[in-house]
Amino acid sequence: MSLEGWVPAAVLKDEVEWRYLPGQRFTDPFFEDTLRRNPSAPVRRTTLAEAAEWVAAHPGLEPAGFIFHLSRCGSTLVAQMLASVEENRVMSEPAPLDQALGLGDPAMLRTIIGALGRANARETRLFVKLDCWHMHQYAVIRNAFPDTPAIFLYRDPLEVLVSQMRNPGMWTIGPPEIPRERHVAGLLAGILESAVVQADSLRLVNYTQLPESTFTLFGVEWSADEIARMHNAAAVDAKARQFEFSPDSAAKRALATESMRTAIAYARELYDRLEALR
């Protein structure tokens, strides 16, 4: 069995689903965007054991950096800046990683990241942007990859709350009997709590430090050409690249209601603790 050119697209209960995407670079804002751009890519399935055996014999790149984040705080910008460099393989919130974590098997986590790191000939670094809730599973990920540099990117949680209230992510949908702003504020506070607990082994990065701080992350010495590419990527909206980037912090704070400000108070305390640690 050969899985050369195949990329894991989903981890099921007993199987891994793969897409045949030889040489494909993942430069879209999200991993799923690249899969959607290739709807006719051949599909195959293997058992979990077959996937593990293949990756063990044909390991991919070891991750050069993990991007943890609070959500709506510039993590896609950082991923897009990194992806603008051809030597970087960037996996942005890949569903199979989340599904592998759900299995509760650290060995399968290593297998899936190893498979995602099966790079093309030019790619020499692997960066993985995780989903925001993966901050709760930081210890599991760190145990599997103890030497990988990791950052936690965050911003004023009131601004994140406003963004999630205007354009909610599926993960923020809660029970109808709980006021929505209170539910989302609780989710954000939980992520910040996990970041505070793990802060000693994370590099804390505030949204206000972007994009310039990106050039100093992960210990990479960037060439002048790579820096220029990353600057160009930072000049456009990370999720809608046909538009120029426009700062929105002041606009978000102006849209905050009194109930939002009340709901986010505890998360704001945690934010202040992170700022003190940073």
Looking at the DSSP assignment, which residues form a beta bridge with residue 206? 154
| Burial degree of 92 (CB within 10 A; 0-12, 13-18, 19+) | buried
Tens digits of residue pLDDT in 219-270: 999 999 999 999 999 999 888 776 678 778 999 999 999 999 999 999 999 9
- pLDDT number for residue 243: 66
Tens digits of residue pLDDT in 143-173: 999 999 999 999 999 999 999 999 999 999 9
Whole-Å CA distances, 197 to 77, 98, 217, 229, 276: 25, 21, 21, 35, 14
68, containing H or E segment: strand 63-69
Tens digits of residue pLDDT in 191-208: 999 999 999 999 999 999
Beginning with the edge strand found earlier in the chain, give each strand of the sheet holding 203-206 in spatial order.
Answer: 88-92, 125-129, 63-69, 150-154, 203-206
Tens digits of residue pLDDT in 80-95: 999 999 999 999 999 9
- pLDDT number for residue 31: 98
Tens digits of residue pLDDT in 50-70: 999 999 999 999 999 999 999
Domains of the chain are: 6-277 (3.40.50)
Distance CA 78, CA 134 (A): 17
Tens digits of residue pLDDT in 22-48: 999 999 999 999 999 999 999 999 999
